[in-house]
Chains A and B, each alone.
Chain A
Amino acid sequence: MELLKRNPAALFLKILILAGIFSAIQYMISFKILSTYYQMTLTTLCLNIILAVSLNLINGFTGQLSLGHAGFMSIGAYVSVVFTQNLDAPFLLALFMACLGAALAGLVIGIPTLRLRGDYLAIATLGFGEIIRIILYNIEAVGGAAGITGIPKLTTWPWLFGSVVLTILVINNLTNSSYGRAIVSIREDEVASELMGINIVNYKILAFIVGAMFAGLAGGLYAHFFYIIKPNTFGFMKSFDVLVMVVLGGLGSTSGAVIAAIFVTILSTVLQSFPELRMVLYAMVLIIVMIFRPQGLMGNKELSFKILRRKRGEAKK
């Protein structure tokens, strides 16, 4: 509501653009202009955006390097499948439970590990992610190493689009709120923000839970699009993929994460036939970006209408 008071025209424009994108793609899907292959790429794209934006909240805004994002995604995937397949629950409920499950895992993992700093945290989250994978590997009820197959295909374009918008909206509002300011201050200087009366542990855990929750959402959507889930899909490599997007886009820029997710998805689709070359390229991107622009391509700048307006205003002068 406040946004509406502040700038109704911009809000209206945003809604219009979103509705336009949504209906254009829905039209192309309904009339089979988009082939299955492109629909698959589109799904991957949306999932990557959700994953990148949510990991960016943890790694970029809060400055806590987490390497366990794939673990949360796997929890979301498995929980949602148990709900739709075994309990015949509606998809919405299943996705909700996926978010809840991943958020709970985030809480359980976050409370002990977020006392750690920097590299120790990275390695501990990596360890937890791997433990989740190994546990799933050993539970026969969810298929063990073979995973679950024959998952109903419930993830459609409206679900994907809605989830992406919801993720960006929630995380954007969070980072622009007083909570967000507190979170960013933790990244800048833990000691100083603690002296300002910010309970750093609580805020870190909050960021961790919200990030994990959306990873769970992505997992639920993933499972109900690709028919099959197995523990090895959600290994360390998946977390690494998402990390590349976050780093490339800018640690602490939601629009940067979105742009990088789009860019990386398209790049990996193009390089699909040369998977090892793709990984070499990813690795070089990580190294080069860190050496020459450690804050990521966008830094903590956001791409928004404000910038465009300012540019136009300057041009007029």
Chain B
Amino acid sequence: MLNFIQQLINGLSLGAIYALIALGYTMVYGIIKLINFAHGDIMMVGAYVGFFSITLLGTNVWVAMLFAMLTCAVLGIIIEKVAYKPLRNSTRIAALITAIGVSFFLEYIMVFLLGATQRVYPADAFPTQTYHFSGLLMTNKDIFVIASAVFLMIILQLFIKKTRTGKAMRAVSLDQDAASLMGINVNHIISVTFAIGSALAAAAGVMYGVFYGTINPLMGMVPGIKAFVAAVLGGIGIIPGAMAGGFLLGILETMVSGYGNSLFRDAAAYGVLILILLIKPTGLFGEKSGEKI
């Protein structure tokens, strides 16, 4: 039982990172119906910005996270304007291939500029402390990751539910044409969505660096796909669904590697994805919607 709770704690930290990335996926999908394959790589860029902010500018982790979020918000907007906007009226397969292209572009431009080697996140920026609660182990990194993820999610929920822009975002995701008839600037809202999603991914990137200690230019690929699985698990386009999906997937993965075979950890995530797509493609939180012809 103790072991189970311990695994649960580990799973929550991993899940928090997945959930933050999944939020960006789900928000972008909700608005322009595009799987932004490059989302995991924006997380990677965020991790690097955080890394350089700590090592070169000597900032602390919080400032580094803020830097990363701002940079990636801008990056997200640029990517949308340059690569996705011209394709808004073309087929979905074209948009998807472009997204794959953007993903590889980000990965290999970083390899090209910085080399493919791993970089070690400065350990003294966030010294590890371990707490013991009656046999359970918890580090301050766990608390850092979970607390900041929950904090960002609360902010996001407040933003979407309480502000005018948030309302406009919900309107655009429901019906783009109707929203634009109501005087909402759809292009502006799409930019805002990309900015917020990318900023969340950047925060996840810094957390990833602090939590796992090393970063490399290809680190975004697998967490990106996993986060997408999380978004589908919760129901793509649904924000609370992405949060729940992220935590669920994180817990599932740590359980599989804790109790079963760690080599099958990734297979479990893909298996979940396929099962969900086959049984309930709208996800756990999704409602069935008829197909419009």
- Determine if chain A interacts with chain B: yes
- What residues make up the interface of A, taking CB atoms closer than 8 Å to B? 59, 63, 65, 112-113, 115-116, 118-120, 122-124, 126-128, 130-131, 134-135, 137-138, 191, 236, 240, 243, 247, 251, 276-277, 279-280, 282-287, 290-291, 294
- What residues make up the interface of B, taking CB atoms closer than 8 Å to A? 34-35, 83, 86-87, 90-98, 100-105, 107-109, 111-112, 116, 221, 225, 228-229, 232, 261, 263-264, 266-267, 270-271, 273-274, 277-278, 281, 293
Residues from chain A with Cβ under 8 Å of B105 in the complex: 280, 283-284, 287
Partner pick for A290 among B87, B112, B261, B267, CB 8 A cutoff: B87
Q: Is A131 within 8 A of B267, CB to CB?
A: yes
**Contact status of A279 and B94, CB under 8 A, knowing A123-B232, A127-B274, A138-B263:** no
Q: Is B93 within 8 A of A134, CB to CB?
A: no
6 extra A-B contacts, CB within 8 A, seeds A59-B93, A280-B112, A282-B101: A119-B34, A119-B35, A123-B277, A127-B273, A240-B104, A276-B116
Q: Is B266 within 8 A of A123, CB to CB?
A: no
Residues from chain B with Cβ under 8 Å of A240 in the complex: 100, 104
CA distance A138 to B116 in the complex (A): 27
**Contact status of A294 and B274, CB under 8 A, knowing A134-B267, A243-B100:** no
A-B contact pairs, 29 of them (CB 8 A): A59-B93, A65-B93, A65-B96, A112-B278, A113-B274, A113-B277, A118-B96, A120-B281, A122-B96, A123-B228, A123-B232, A127-B229, A127-B271, A130-B267, A134-B267, A135-B267, A137-B263, A240-B104, A243-B97, A247-B97, A276-B116, A279-B107, A283-B101, A283-B103, A283-B105, A286-B100, A287-B105, A290-B101, A294-B91
CA distance A115 to B86 in the complex (A): 29
Q: Is B108 within 8 A of A283, CB to CB?
A: yes
Residues from chain B with Cβ under 8 Å of A291 in the complex: 83, 86-87, 98
Q: Is A290 within 8 A of B97, CB to CB?
A: yes
Partner pick for A294 among B87, B225, B263, CB 8 A cutoff: B87
Residues from chain A with Cβ under 8 Å of B91 in the complex: 294
Partner pick for B92 among A115, A118, A243, CB 8 A cutoff: A118
CA distance A24 to B239 in the complex (A): 62
Residues from chain A with Cβ under 8 Å of B261 in the complex: 138
Residue in B116, B261, B266 whose Cβ sees the most chain A Cβ within 10 Å: B266
Residues from chain A with Cβ under 8 Å of B98 in the complex: 286-287, 290-291
Partner pick for A280 among B34, B97, B108, CB 8 A cutoff: B108
A204 nearest CB across to chain B (Å): 14
Partner pick for B273 among A119, A123, A135, A282, CB 8 A cutoff: A123
Residues from chain A with Cβ under 8 Å of B266 in the complex: 130, 134
Q: Give the nearest-CB partner of A126 in chain B.
A: B225
Q: Give the nearest-CB partner of B278 in chain A.
A: A112
Q: Give the nearest-CB partner of A293 in chain B.
A: B94
Q: Which 6 A-B pairs have the closest CB atoms?
A: A286-B101, A127-B270, A283-B105, A279-B108, A283-B104, A287-B101
Q: Is A119 within 8 A of B264, CB to CB?
A: no
**Contact status of A191 and B293, CB under 8 A, knowing A120-B281, A138-B264:** yes
Q: Give the nearest-CB partner of A286 in chain B.
A: B101
B28 nearest CB across to chain A (Å): 12
CA distance A297 to B4 in the complex (A): 55
CA distance A116 to B94 in the complex (A): 17
Residues from chain B with Cβ under 8 Å of A126 in the complex: 225
Residues from chain B with Cβ under 8 Å of A137 in the complex: 263
A211 nearest CB across to chain B (Å): 16
A155 nearest CB across to chain B (Å): 29
Q: Is B90 within 8 A of A131, CB to CB?
A: no
Residues from chain A with Cβ under 8 Å of B94 in the complex: 290, 294
Residues from chain B with Cβ under 8 Å of A236 in the complex: 221
Residues from chain A with Cβ under 8 Å of B35 in the complex: 119, 122-123
B236 nearest CB across to chain A (Å): 9
CA distance A135 to B266 in the complex (A): 11
Partner pick for A116 among B95, B229, B270, B277, CB 8 A cutoff: B277
Q: Is A294 within 8 A of B83, CB to CB?
A: no
B37 nearest CB across to chain A (Å): 9
Q: Give the nearest-CB partner of B101 in chain A.
A: A286
Q: Give the nearest-CB partner of B116 in chain A.
A: A276
Q: Give the nearest-CB partner of A120 in chain B.
A: B277
CA distance A123 to B261 in the complex (A): 24
Residues from chain A with Cβ under 8 Å of B116 in the complex: 276
Residues from chain A with Cβ under 8 Å of B103 in the complex: 283
Partner pick for A277 among B34, B86, B112, B225, CB 8 A cutoff: B112
Q: Is A63 within 8 A of B93, CB to CB?
A: yes
Q: Give the nearest-CB partner of A127 in chain B.
A: B270
Residues from chain A with Cβ under 8 Å of B97 in the complex: 65, 243, 247, 286, 290
Residues from chain B with Cβ under 8 Å of A134 in the complex: 263-264, 266-267, 270
B35 nearest CB across to chain A (Å): 5
